């Protein structure tokens, strides 16, 4: 007799008393789909010799399938990679002020493009442009979806069918998909490379200027450093040269923070205010790198140039929504009070977190991790680590940190991959990194109020 004949029907399973709560939780449509898929999978497995599951096991499979389907794709994770502004993990966390502003804007209609005083139409850039001008010393500002969009918009607006002069040492690639030469080409601008990889001089730029030149541009070499026998032209000299020829000088800052990070012992990172003061006519930077805000591309600079950008129909295609503007406005307001910035701006808080504090967190959490890994052939130890800022900021400098090193006993390195995968498979995935034969978990980005959730999560580890 065909063993498959004993499989219950879809209808029988759907009307089973144990399936009713699943239907209440996930809806009939989803459970019907999962029941069908589960039965099909069982039929196929039976053909290759697997035993037929009983009804209880079948219903368990349906429950597990429904839970898996209902899990959000965009799940929170624990970022223990040691990279604070991790592009693949969503870059900067937002400060509470920004989260609240974002929720309020999500819930209610808001004056996004509406002038409350006159009742007329407003401009969404006005929500943040005054703050940007106040904080950077620029005349005007505009916001687009990300910094790649900002660079694209400025090139397309000011340099289409014209030439843009850039130093050869700055023709960078960021995260694979943003390459300066490709963006130039797509924006319709012709790239003119000058100088050499390690050295570029004022006269290299001067000799390249022709009637077709649209602008001089520098791109902050954010994700690498050229060291040794090097020469770059100071921004003030490039600005002066551009202005002698009636050309704009444009700076793609990449990260760009609005405050002096040295104050907190971090390495210096160029700011838009410095670029403006040096004579830049237009500066672009990201919202979710060192600024510590939402994903956005920020453009500050000369009023006439910003006005041209805003008239380009592409600005409409690249604009940001109210959620971004709500969060961005709240973040910018924090920069008005630099004395309290370190307590309020989450990204900065994580970046300047002292090593001793991170080590103390490791000591608190060590027992939970040891217990979770007790039956595996590994040693778990607290270790000194170096975190990095990430997102191409300050590529050379490292932040002294602490965390766990999980090392295999003997030569069984396969066990590390298994643990790494099991940590990723937790209800809230824990993301670490394997380096030099150890699985490293850097605790810099685990905030103290998440420690209990972290330990509870570890109790569900199975590998
Ligand atoms: C990161 C970066 C970009 C791209 O910015 P996104 O906000 O990720 O689009 C462009 N230029 C430089 C120099 C960068 O560092």
320 falls within a domain = yes
- Cβ of 169 closer than 6 Å to ligand 1, yes or no, is no
List pLDDT tens digits, range 355-375.
999 999 999 999 999 999 999
- Residue 283 and residue 46: Cα distance in Å, rounded? 64
d(CA 162, ligand 1 centre) in Å? 23
- 203 in the same domain as 289: yes
- 399 in the same domain as 454: yes
Whole-number pLDDT of residue 176:
61
Write down the pTM of the prediction: 0.93
d(CA 194, ligand 1 centre) in Å? 22
- Cβ of 334 closer than 6 Å to ligand 1, yes or no, is no
Joined tokens for residue 360:
């103390």
- 321 in the same domain as 304: yes
463 falls within a domain = no
- Cβ of 147 closer than 6 Å to ligand 1, yes or no, is yes
39 falls within a domain = yes
d(CA 216, ligand 1 centre) in Å? 18
Instruction: Domain of residue 391: give its range.
Output: 78-88+349-458
SS3 (DSSP) at 440: strand
d(CA 252, ligand 1 centre) in Å? 8
- 256 in the same domain as 382: no
- 255 in the same domain as 169: yes
List pLDDT tens digits, range 48-87.
888 899 999 999 999 999 999 999 999 999 999 999 999 9
CA nearest ligand 1 atom 2, residue: 254
- 440 in the same domain as 364: yes
Where does residue 404 fall: left (phi above 0), alpha (psi -120 to 50 degrees), or beta otherwise?
beta
CA nearest ligand 1 atom 15, residue: 254
pLDDT at 394 over 60: no
Q: What CATH number is attached to the domain comprising 390?
A: 3.90.1150.110
- Cβ of 91 closer than 6 Å to ligand 1, yes or no, is no
What secondary structure letter does DSSP report for 80?
Answer: -
Q: What CATH number is attached to the domain comprising 110?
A: 3.40.640.10
d(CA 290, ligand 1 centre) in Å? 11
286 falls within a domain = yes
pLDDT at 120 over 80: yes
Average pLDDT of span 90-106: 98
Domain count of the fold of the chain? 3
- Cβ of 393 closer than 6 Å to ligand 1, yes or no, is no
Average pLDDT of span 213-217: 98
């Amino acid at each position: 007799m065909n063993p498959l004949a004993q499989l219950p029907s879809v209808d029988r399973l759907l009307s089973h008393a144990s399936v009713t709560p699943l239907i209440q939780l996930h809806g009939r449509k989803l459970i019907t789909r999962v029941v069908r898929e589960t039965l099909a999978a069982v039929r196929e497995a039976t053909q290759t010799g697997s035993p037929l599951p009983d009804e209880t096991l079948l219903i368990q499979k349906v429950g597990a399938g429904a839970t898996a389907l209902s899990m959000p794709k965009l799940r929170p994770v624990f970022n223990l990679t040691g990279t604070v502004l991790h592009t693949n993990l969503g870059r900067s966390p937002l400060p509470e002020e920004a989260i609240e502003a974002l929720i309020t804007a999500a819930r209610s209609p808001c004056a996004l493009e509406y002038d409350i005083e006159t009742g007329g139409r407003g401009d969404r850039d006005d929500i943040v442009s005054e703050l940007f001008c106040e904080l950077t010393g620029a005349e005007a500002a505009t916001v687009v979806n990300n910094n790649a969009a900002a660079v694209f918009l400025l090139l397309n607006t000011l340099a289409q069918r014209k030439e843009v002069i850039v130093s050869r040492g700055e023709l960078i690639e960021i995260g694979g998909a943003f390459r300066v030469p490709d963006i130039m080409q797509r924006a319709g601008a012709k790239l003119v490379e000058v100088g050499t990889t390690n050295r570029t001089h004022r006269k290299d730029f001067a000799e390249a200027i022709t009637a077709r030149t649209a602008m001089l541009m520098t791109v902050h070499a954010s994700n690498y450093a050229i060291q040794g026998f090097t020469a770059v032209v100071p921004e003030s000299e490039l600005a002066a040269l551009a202005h002698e020829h009636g050309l704009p000088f444009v700076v793609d800052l990449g990260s760009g923070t609005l405050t002096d990070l040295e104050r907190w012992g971090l390495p210096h990172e160029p700011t838009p205010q410095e670029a403006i003061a040096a004579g830049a006519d237009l500066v672009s930077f990201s919202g979710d790198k060192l600024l510590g805000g939402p994903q956005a591309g920020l453009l500050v600079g000369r009023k006439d140039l910003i006005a041209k950008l805003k008239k380009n129909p592409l600005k409409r295609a690249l604009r940001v929504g109210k959620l971004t503007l709500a969060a961005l406005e709240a973040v910018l307001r924090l920069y008005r009070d630099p004395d309290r910035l370190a307590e309020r701006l989450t990204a900065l808080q994580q970046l300047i977190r002292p090593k001793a504090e991170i080590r103390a967190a490791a000591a608190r959490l060590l027992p939970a991790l040891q217990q979770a890994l007790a039956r595996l052939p590994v040693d778990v130890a607290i270790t000194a680590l170096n975190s990095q800022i990430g997102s191409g900021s300050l590529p050379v400098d490292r932040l002294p940190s602490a965390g766990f090193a999980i090392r295999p006993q003997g030569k069984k390195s396969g066990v590390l991959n298994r643990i790494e995968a099991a940590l990723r498979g937790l209800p809230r995935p824990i993301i670490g990194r394997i380096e030099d034969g150890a699985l490293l978990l850097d605790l810099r980005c685990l905030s103290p109020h998440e420690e209990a959730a972290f330990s509870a999560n570890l109790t569900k580890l199975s590998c």
